[in-house]
């Protein structure tokens, strides 16, 4: 009996090279995710008195948990910590590094495949740099989108962001059943690997749904339901 046939061998070789070709390790898009603390705390039952948009994460569109042996080490970002606490606070556990550790393991270790992000200092430093450069909170205020008990239309909010940055964001809301409005929760703004702004709905060549956190309770906002941008309770 033959151990293997040339046909099977050829097939195996063809399959393995196809696998390599169809699963490149490199991501093609970065998603800078901001969230609105009041809405997150409605969903997760926390208490926050922060009334500006904070960072949720910087996510490559491809890959998750890329290197489990690359441990988060806050001493490597010692100089960034004051800004991290202000701009990227853990809303659920305000005094711990749990959130940053999670973001590093899940997304940072994959982002680190690019030389520009291949250390914890580069990764967290770049996220903070992009966050300050965009100044989403300032832009919304400047165009009169402020936390309010009155509702906005979805296109008022989307329009301000699109006009100012010249790219399409992805905007997510929290809605409870039977409500006549939805709560503004999360705003994603996207970049290419050179950190140039990019439309978020532009499909990455290798879009990977595992790579992107879909927080339970948040969905892309419904264009036809009024949007509540809630002030501090
Ligand atoms: C917000 O909460 C923090 C921690 O609980 C507290 O130190 C700070 O004074 C509060 N700020 C305001 C404006 O209430
Ligand atoms: C994973 O991270 C460790 C620690 O930084 C590093 O030594 C190793 O080369 C990394 N592995 C891969 C596959 O990148
Ligand atoms: C954490 O980083 C610091 C500074 O780079 C280094 O001296 C220390 O050995 C690291 N700790 C661990 C557990 O890797």
Domain containing residue 34: CATH number: 3.90.730.10
Residues in the chain: 233
Say if CB 34 and CB 54 are below 8 A apart.
Answer: yes
Instruction: Round to whole Å and give the CA distance between 38 and 35.
Output: 9
Is there a domain that residue 18 lies in? yes
Say if CB 182 and CB 226 are below 8 A apart.
Answer: yes
Taking only the tens place, the pLDDT of each residue in 132-189 is: 999 999 999 999 999 999 999 999 999 999 999 999 999 999 997 777 999 999 999 9
Is there a domain that residue 45 lies in? yes
- How many Cβ atoms sit within 10 Å of the Cβ of residue 141? 13
Instruction: Round to whole Å and give the CA distance between 158 and 173.
Output: 12
Say if CB 190 and CB 8 are below 8 A apart.
Answer: no
Taking only the tens place, the pLDDT of each residue in 54-63 is: 999 999 999 9
Taking only the tens place, the pLDDT of each residue in 88-147 is: 999 999 889 999 999 999 999 999 999 999 999 999 999 999 999 999 999 999 999 999
Residue minimizing CA distance to atom 5 of ligand 3: 76
Number of domains, the chain:
1
Of 193, 227, 182, 203, which is closest to residue 116 (Cα–Cα)? 193
Is there a domain that residue 15 lies in? yes
Is there a domain that residue 2 lies in? no
176: Cβ below 6 Å to ligand 3? Answer: no
CA angle 37, 43, 31 (to 5 degrees): 55
Is there a domain that residue 1 lies in? no
Distance, CA 67 to ligand 2 centroid (Å)?
6
Say if CB 152 and CB 145 are below 8 A apart.
Answer: yes
Which letter does DSSP use for residue 222 in this model? Answer: P
């Amino acid at each position: 009996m033959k151990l293997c046939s040339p046909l099977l061998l050829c097939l195996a070789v063809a399959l393995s090279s196809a696998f390599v070709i169809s699963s490149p390790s490199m991501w093609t898009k970065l998603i800078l995710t901001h969230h609105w603390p009041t809405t997150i705390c409605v969903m997760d039952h926390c208490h926050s008195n922060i009334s500006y948009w904070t960072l949720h994460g910087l996510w490559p569109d491809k890959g998750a948990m890329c290197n489990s042996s690359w441990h988060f080490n806050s001493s490597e970002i010692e100089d960034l910590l004051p800004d991290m606490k202000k701009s990227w606070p853990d809303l659920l556990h305000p005094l711990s590094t749990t959130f940053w550790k999670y973001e590093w393991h899940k997304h940072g270790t994959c982002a680190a495949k690019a030389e520009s992000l291949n250390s914890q200092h580069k990764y967290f430093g770049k996220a903070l740099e992009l966050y300050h450069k965009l100044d989403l909170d300032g832009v919304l205020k400047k165009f009169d989108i402020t936390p309010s008990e009155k509702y906005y239309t979805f296109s008022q909010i989307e329009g301000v962001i699109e006009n100012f940055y010249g790219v399409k964001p992805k905007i997510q809301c929290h809605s409870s059943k039977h409500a006549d409005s939805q709560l503004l929760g999360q705003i994603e703004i996207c970049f290419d690997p050179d950190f140039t702004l990019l439309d978020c709905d532009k499909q990455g060549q290798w879009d990977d749904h595992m790579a992107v956190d879909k927080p339970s309770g948040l969905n892309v906002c419904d264009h036809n339901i009024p949007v509540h941008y809630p002030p501090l309770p």
